[in-house]
Amino acid sequence: MTLQPLFNTRYEEVVPITTFVQTSYLADFTAFKTYSDTHFGTAFKTALATNLAAAAAITSSSFYIKEIKLLNIKVTLNIGALRPNLDLLEGYVEFAEADLLCTVADFGISKVRKQIHKKNYEGLTQALDDLNHNINDPTNLAALTAHDFTPALHTAITDLTTTIKQQLIDRNILIDKKEAAVQANLILFNTLWEQVLLLLKTGKRLFKHSDPEKTREYTLTVLKSRVRRASHKAIADDTGGAQADEYVLTVPINNFAVADFQIQPNSHYLATVTGDTALTGFLSKTPDLTSRDTADKFIIEPGDDHLIDTTPYPLCKYIIIINPDTEQPGEITITLVE
């Protein structure tokens, strides 16, 4: 029987959440120890510190969290750079269709766009291979060149393809390493999480009446939000994020919200779901749900990131986020990045 995780959060969030909880527990140690020295005294404090240190060492060395997120962003940025080249290539393919070995529809441009839209990275790798195969076929290349397809455009498409494919390979290698590390250390992380849950439950019990505000320090949804905002800020900083342009948007239950700023053209925004609810978003001409001219629809799971590229949608001015959850509000943090 395969061991299953006991925690209902992302693997990489276990250590930072535990760190926050440990800080609160140590500050309130007297209250916990007075309540039960058997369960929360020095022995528990030592065990928690030992488990946390071991899990932190594994997370920092084997989970590659930051590296994977940065690769995801770099892939998205390179895909954004590829889009205008695909548009130009499509024009040359249409000019030369009569002399090509395949139709415009079968040349591979639409297939690449489809995989980009679906965010199917495995499918994108194959689609890029097929497209470049068609470009580099001697007959096709001669036909395209006859219609002024330039070596510069050819090189740009080839180089971006090579870069994107290598970044996807690197990303998959890191993901495989992360999954292996998770499985190899699941007993440790489960043990640590049981300690966290015990502290959360007891912390609420101790301070519910005497200090209600303090119970937020022992509330999992609050802690997840803190961790995800910190992660979002770190990634945004590494991608040139303008912290003055960081927005935290709360989305009501089973409703929508509009980011209270107009998006800039030819820009990228890093969006991270910092709450505990999956959210749907899209770009729109109008700050409501009435516009039929919407684009770049995306779904982000809790803790995940999405890089919004406004370049292909110059007429869209707003980011609209929908929360389909009927039980809890959503939260998303959005930052302008270079």
The predicted-structure confidence for 67-123, as pLDDT tens digits, reads as follows 888 898 889 889 989 999 999 999 999 999 999 999 999 999 999 999 987 778 889
Residue 127 located in a structural domain: yes
Q: Are both 150 and 270 inside the same structural domain?
A: no
99 DSSP 8-state letter = G
Choose one of 150, 184, 218: the last residue of a domain: 218
pLDDT tens, 165-191? 999 999 999 989 988 888 899 999 999
Choose one of 164, 183, 218: the last residue of a domain: 218
Q: Are both 63 and 188 inside the same structural domain?
A: yes
Q: Mean pLDDT across the stretch 15-30?
A: 97
Residue 236 located in a structural domain: no
**Of 335, 334, 329, 331, nearest in space to 302 by CA:** 331
Residues with Cβ within 8 Å of residue 150, at least 6 apart in sequence = none
Q: Are both 198 and 291 inside the same structural domain?
A: no
Q: State residue 116's pLDDT score.
A: 86
Q: State residue 8's pLDDT score.
A: 84
Split into its structural domains, the chain has a count of 2
Q: Are both 208 and 253 inside the same structural domain?
A: no
Sign of CA dihedral 279, 250, 283, 268: negative
Residue 163 located in a structural domain: yes
Q: Are both 203 and 310 inside the same structural domain?
A: no
Q: State residue 196's pLDDT score.
A: 98
The percentage of residues in the chain with a pLDDT greater than 90, rounded to a whole number, is 60
Residue 234 located in a structural domain: no
Distance CA 70, CA 78 (A): 12
Strands 330-337 and 246-251: what pairing? antiparallel
Residue 153 located in a structural domain: yes
Q: Are both 129 and 275 inside the same structural domain?
A: no
Q: Are both 167 and 302 inside the same structural domain?
A: no
pLDDT tens, 107-126? 999 999 999 877 788 899 99
pLDDT surpasses 60 at 242? no
Look-up of token digits 């679906």: 118
Distance CA 190, CA 4 (A): 9
Kindly write down the DSSP assignment for every residue of 242-293, as one continuous string: -GGGEEEEEE-TTEEEE-SSPPPTT-EEEEEE-SSS-EEEEEESSSSS--S-
pLDDT tens, 143-165? 999 999 999 999 999 999 999 99
Average pLDDT, the chain: 90
Distance CA 193, CA 15 (A): 9
Residue 121 located in a structural domain: yes
Distance CA 303, CA 42 (A): 33
Q: Are both 43 and 82 inside the same structural domain?
A: yes
Q: State residue 200's pLDDT score.
A: 97
Torsion angle defined by CA atoms of residues 225, 226, 232 and 236, in that order, rounded to the nearest 10 degrees:
140
Q: Are both 269 and 163 inside the same structural domain?
A: no
Q: Are both 287 and 326 inside the same structural domain?
A: yes
pTM of the model: 0.76
Residue 223 located in a structural domain: no
Q: Are both 293 and 199 inside the same structural domain?
A: no
Q: Are both 53 and 147 inside the same structural domain?
A: yes
Domain that holds residue 173: 1-218
CATH of the domain at 318: 2.60.120.10
Residue 224 located in a structural domain: no
